[in-house]
């Protein structure tokens, strides 16, 4: 199954057709933001005359996403000129692309020059560069559903993991002010409910939802056995190995160290990170009663509301 994640995202954010350079200028040359134009050499007419819009690309891969697409932009000079003309320096890897093909596809071009459609920024004020705080679910029918992904009891990622929507879909989660252009080029779609991709900033966290829940269940058991808060970083961390910053009392506890090594070996970093994101919601709905032969006995879930994703 072939799905163009960049197309799905851009169309969800208002993309209609490949943008001409006069349209690009009009999209950001509005009152109050003209000073920002200086940061975008692509807006100059000199550069416009050297950038060509093509619709018959056969083999060039997009500088951003690496896909071969028929429509896009190429420079009459070279790839380096294309990059300097069209890609703003807010793109994390702006200066590492010059060795690639002299081509930017229509979707990555849209993201790189307009950050999506005009909207409100995280402070609720009008921004010509669209929404910089990206927390969205892109549905199979190219629609954007804004979501709440902070790691507290309202996190809507838990519902996606436990009750996935119709595939394909794309989860976009902002990381440290990530803007749309940095998410678009790197995003991957979820093609199966058995293997969900959580696009967290520039990370594509690929997880089996059942493993994520098992990880949370075992973390609860672990916490009860050693009298640790289940949300503690002593259980969850973003490293591939056991953290060296564990308190001394745990480092000298052979039983603890054996079990934490087993836990981290069994559940990889992607699984643990996604589990950590939804842990507070999980704990709210699945509170362990006690330990019985090393297993936490959970209360039955009483929340029977309809799915958030009945599209």
The stretches in the chain having pLDDT less than 50 are: 27-43, 116-131, 291-311
**Residue percentage of the chain with pLDDT more than 90:** 29
C-alpha closest to that of 92 among 187, 179, 10? 179
With a CB cutoff of 8 Å and minimum separation 6, the contacts of 300 are none
In this prediction, residue 37 carries a pLDDT of 39
Within a domain: 60: yes
Cα separations (Å) of 168 from 28, 68, 164, 217? 32, 20, 10, 28
- Residue where a domain stops, chosen among 119, 142, 163: 119
The pLDDT tens digits for 174-224 are 876 566 667 788 899 999 999 999 999 888 999 999 999 999 999 988 888
* Burial of residue 77, with CB atoms counted within 10 A of its CB: 0-12 exposed, 13-18 middle, 19 or more buried: middle
In this prediction, residue 92 carries a pLDDT of 58
Within a domain: 126: no
Question: Packing angle between helix 5-12 and helix 106-114, nearest 10 degrees?
Answer: 40
Residue 9 shares a structural domain with residue 109: yes
Residue 114 shares a structural domain with residue 9: yes
Within a domain: 22: yes
In this prediction, residue 113 carries a pLDDT of 67
Q: Which domain holds residue 239?
A: 209-298
The pLDDT tens digits for 92-105 are 566 567 678 899 99
Residue 113 shares a structural domain with residue 216: no
Mapping DSSP to helix (H, G, I), strand (E, B) and coil, where does residue 74 land? strand
Within a domain: 201: no
C-alpha closest to that of 282 among 303, 264, 306? 303
Within a domain: 33: yes
Within a domain: 146: no
pTM of the shown model? 0.77
In this prediction, residue 21 carries a pLDDT of 63
- Residue where a domain stops, chosen among 119, 152, 168: 119
The pLDDT tens digits for 139-166 are 999 999 989 888 788 899 999 999 999 9
Within a domain: 90: yes
Number of domains in the chain: 2
Within a domain: 41: yes
- Residue where a domain stops, chosen among 101, 119, 137: 119
């Amino acid at each position: 199954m072939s799905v163009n994640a960049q197309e799905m995202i851009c169309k969800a954010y208002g993309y209609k057709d490949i943008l001409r350079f006069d349209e690009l200028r009009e999209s950001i040359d509005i009152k109050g933001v003209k000073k920002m134009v200086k940061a975008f050499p692509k807006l100059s007419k000199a550069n416009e005359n050297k950038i060509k819009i093509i619709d018959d690309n056969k083999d060039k891969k997009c500088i951003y996403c690496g896909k071969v697409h028929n429509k896009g932009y190429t420079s009459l000079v070279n790839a380096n000129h294309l990059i300097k003309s069209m890609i703003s320096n807010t793109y994390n890897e702006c200066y590492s692309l010059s060795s690639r093909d002299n081509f930017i596809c229509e979707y990555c071009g849209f993201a790189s020059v307009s950050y999506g459609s005009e909207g409100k920024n995280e402070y609720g004020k009008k921004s010509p560069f669209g929404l910089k705080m990206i927390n969205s679910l892109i549905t199979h029918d190219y629609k954007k559903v804004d979501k709440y992904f902070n790691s507290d009891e309202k996190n809507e990622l838990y519902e996606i993991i436990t009750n996935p929507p119709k595939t394909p879909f794309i989860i976009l989660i902002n990381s440290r002010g990530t803007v749309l252009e940095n998410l678009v080029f790197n995003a991957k779609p979820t093609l199966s409910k058995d293997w969900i991709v959580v696009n967290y900033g520039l990370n594509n966290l690929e997880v089996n939802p059942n493993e994520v829940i098992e990880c949370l269940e075992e973390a609860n058991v672990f916490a009860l056995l050693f009298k640790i808060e289940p949300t503690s970083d002593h259980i969850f961390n973003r490293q591939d190995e056991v953290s060296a910053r564990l308190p001394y009392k745990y480092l000298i506890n052979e039983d603890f160290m054996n079990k934490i090594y087993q836990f981290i070996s069994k559940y990889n970093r992607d699984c643990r990170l996604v589990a950590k994101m939804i842990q507070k919601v999980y704990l709210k709905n699945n509170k362990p009663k006690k330990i019985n032969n090393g297993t936490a006995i959970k209360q039955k879930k009483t929340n029977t509301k309809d799915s958030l994703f009945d599209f």
